Amino acid sequence: MKRKKIGVIVTGLILSGILALSPAVSLYAEDGTVSVYEAEADENLSGQQTGEDESSNQPSDTGNSDIPSDETGDTGNQEDNSDTGSQDDADTSEDPQTPAEDGSDEGQPGDDTQTGEDSNPGDDQTGNDDSDEEQPGESNPGDETPEEPEEPFTGLQEQPDGSWYYLIEGILQDTYTGLVKDTDGTWYYVENGIVNFDATGLIKHVSGTWYYVKNGVMQSDYTGLIKNIDGIWYYIKDGRMQSNYTGLARHSTGSWYYIKNGVVQHGVTGLVKHVSGSWYYVKDGRMQSNFNGLVKHTTGSWYYVKAGKVQHNYTGMAKHTTGSWYYIKNGRMQNNYTGLAKHTSGTWYYVVKGKWNSSYNGVVTYNGKYYTVKNGKKVGTGMEVSQVSMYNKAQQYSSQTKWLILVDTKANRVGIYNGSKGNWTQKYFWVCTTGKSSTPTVKGQFTVGSKGKAFGHGYTCWYYTQFYGNYLFHSVLYEPGSMTDIQDGRLGINASAGCVRLSIGNAKWIYDNIPSSTKVVVY
């Protein structure tokens, strides 16, 4: 601007009067002398503010400094218009202003748009305010309340072409690539300062963390698996890649996959541990929810898996995919165990090194007793040592029926067997009373003959079965006609007149179940 000297030294009173009459003057002090200058408009400024004309220094379109636009009024020279102090609520890239709908921020009420000038309705919009004439409706500048300058805009802002720029104090961050949080809490992927709405995949933030972005927007509500452009699948939780996670993760399809350090392990087949502590069977990284059978762990042990999960609480027999059955205890196959193993059905099986031996027939021990095994399954009840001796003896005899009875007169025991020669199974093993030394029980091989409900004089014996002449199986002695009052109930000794005495229940079982012609061996 040009300055023209038009005044002389005057008193404070005269100067006050002049200033009141002419607002378009300024004071200039030099060497203690006050001079009055008339401000003239510079025709070459084209509306730009130099900072010398303090009375017209209004901010231009606050919030849009340095943003590319189609309008030419904003030159970007805003140094003298900005607030030199930082406001306490200044926005950062973490909490930007909400972008205006038309792509630009609105100024203070009464501001003009995009010109950087203080013009009133009816002005020629040239930016020149050197007219000495007062325009109709124009108020005296001295009567207006000065407006507070606004800080340049920081955050995401839409441009006229529809793109969104990331600005810090009005300056496009064209070297920044990463995530930026909008005022609504949504995070956007910014590439070289511009939101990239075409980006979909994993994006690395400046913090080093990877996030899942879809169409430029961080998917903070997404939890699942996503395939990145590198072809690798990653586990995402709340939009963030879980690089420290190892375990199983559910895909949106419903399938579960094994994750290690946030990456799906497609090359893993075997048993893996979930964060819950449970173990699962995965094949090519995918949990086999339809699999039931045995799976070998990397340690060499085999485990029973049901619906893809190791059954640590299971004890019993389990069928492998090969068709073989194995004994499982607490979910683990007992490959060092040989003996009887109980299945959940209640059936006992004979296993050798953990595997069921379906062809085995014989006697095996279990918890101090002997058991008969037929085709790999336990039959009958457990036997004492004396029972084993009788059992082995029974195998050499044949019978015309499927039943066989042996009587040990020394041990006073009766054995009931079912089956056939060489394949007899003990059904019962009872204590009995055989003949005393003066009237011993006959020894040899006999067959079952007649039967009757009772006999006796002065006593009653119930449910008799004849095996030779007057030698019978019958109950102990009861009072005549009674089934409750026992006259002589001794068992386990040699005390009879030659018959084989039994409890009334056992005598009745032979009476009811053993057919005629059944072989009886007394020794």
pLDDT at 391 over 70: yes
Q: Give pLDDT tens digits for 111-135.
A: 333 333 333 333 444 344 444 444 4
pLDDT at 69 over 80: no
pLDDT band for position 283 (50/70/90)?
Answer: very high
Q: Is 18 contained in some domain?
A: no
pLDDT band for position 428 (50/70/90)?
Answer: very high
pLDDT at position 384, please? Answer: 80
Q: Give the list of residues 6+ apart from residue 82 with CB closer than 8 angstroms, or none.
A: 59, 65, 149, 151, 152
Residue 370, both tokens: 């002997």
Q: Is 219 contained in some domain?
A: no
Distance CA 390, CA 521 (A): 11
Q: Give pLDDT tens digits for 189-214.
A: 999 999 999 999 999 998 999 999 99
**Shared domain check, 400 and 341:** no
**Shared domain check, 415 and 370:** no
Residue 428, both tokens: 């019962």
Catalytic-residue membership of 320:
no
pLDDT at position 437, please? Answer: 96
pLDDT at position 90, please? Answer: 31
Task: Look at 97-101, 281-285, 392-396 and tell me which has the smallest mean pLDDT.
Answer: 97-101
Q: Is 163 contained in some domain?
A: no
Of 383, 399, 430, which marks where a domain is finished? 383
Catalytic-residue membership of 343:
no
Among candidate residues 266, 274, 432, 499, the one labeled active-site is 499
pLDDT at 98 over 90: no
pLDDT at position 40, please? Answer: 31
Secondary structure percentages of the chain, helix, strand, coil, to 5: 5, 35, 55
**Shared domain check, 393 and 372:** no
pLDDT at position 144, please? Answer: 60
Of 355, 383, 411, which marks where a domain is finished? 383
Q: Is 145 contained in some domain?
A: no
Q: Is 357 contained in some domain?
A: yes
pLDDT at position 143, please? Answer: 56
pLDDT at position 135, please? Answer: 44
Domain count, the chain: 2
Among candidate residues 205, 274, 457, 474, the one labeled active-site is 474
Instruction: Identify the CA nearest to 469 among candidates 448, 452, 455, 453.
Output: 448
**Shared domain check, 431 and 320:** no
Domain at 517, CATH number: 2.40.440.10
Q: Give the list of residues 6+ apart from residue 163 with CB closer than 8 angstroms, or none.
A: 194, 195
Range(s) of the domain holding residue 456: 388-522
Structure-model confidence comparison of residues 334 and 370, the more confident one: 334
pLDDT band for position 517 (50/70/90)?
Answer: very high
Q: Is 286 contained in some domain?
A: no
Please, what is the average pLDDT of the chain?
79
**Shared domain check, 372 and 392:** no
pLDDT at position 145, please? Answer: 61
**Shared domain check, 500 and 402:** yes
**Shared domain check, 477 and 392:** yes
Q: What whole-number percentage of the chain has pLDDT above 70?
A: 72
**Shared domain check, 442 and 423:** yes
pLDDT at 12 over 70: no
* C-beta atoms surrounding 115 within 10 Å: 19
Q: Give pLDDT tens digits for 451-500.
A: 999 999 999 999 999 999 999 999 999 999 999 999 999 999 999 999 99
Q: Across-strand partners of 227?
A: 233
Distance set, CA 387 to CA 371, 379, 380, 413 (Å): 10, 14, 12, 9
**Shared domain check, 413 and 372:** no
DSSP string, 42-89: -TTSTT---SS-GGG-PPPSTT-TT---S-SS--S--TTTS-SSPPTT
What does pTM read for this prediction?
0.55
pLDDT at position 360, please? Answer: 95
Q: Give pLDDT tens digits for 296-305.
A: 999 999 999 9
pLDDT band for position 393 (50/70/90)?
Answer: very high
Q: Give pLDDT tens digits for 306-361.
A: 999 999 999 999 999 999 999 999 999 999 999 999 999 999 999 999 999 999 98
pLDDT at 169 over 70: yes
Domain at 373, CATH number: 2.10.270
**Shared domain check, 312 and 397:** no
Cβ pair 262, 241 in contact under 8 A: yes
Of 383, 398, 426, which marks where a domain is finished? 383
| 488-502 b/e (C-beta count within 10 Å ≥ 16 → b) | eeebeebebebbbbb
Structure-model confidence comparison of residues 237 and 47, the more confident one: 237
pLDDT band for position 44 (50/70/90)?
Answer: very low
Structure-model confidence comparison of residues 41 and 161, the more confident one: 161
Q: Is 344 contained in some domain?
A: yes
Q: Give the list of residues 6+ apart from residue 488 with CB closer than 8 angstroms, or none.
A: 459, 476, 477, 495
pLDDT at position 508, please? Answer: 98
pLDDT band for position 150 (50/70/90)?
Answer: confident
pLDDT at position 64, please? Answer: 35
pLDDT band for position 237 (50/70/90)?
Answer: very high
**Shared domain check, 443 and 330:** no
pLDDT band for position 13 (50/70/90)?
Answer: very low
pLDDT band for position 146 (50/70/90)?
Answer: low
pLDDT at position 18, please? Answer: 36
Q: Is 150 contained in some domain?
A: no
pLDDT at 511 over 80: yes
Residues 247-251, mean pLDDT to the nearest whole number: 95
Distance CA 258, CA 386 (A): 58
Cβ pair 403, 483 in contact under 8 A: no
**Shared domain check, 393 and 357:** no
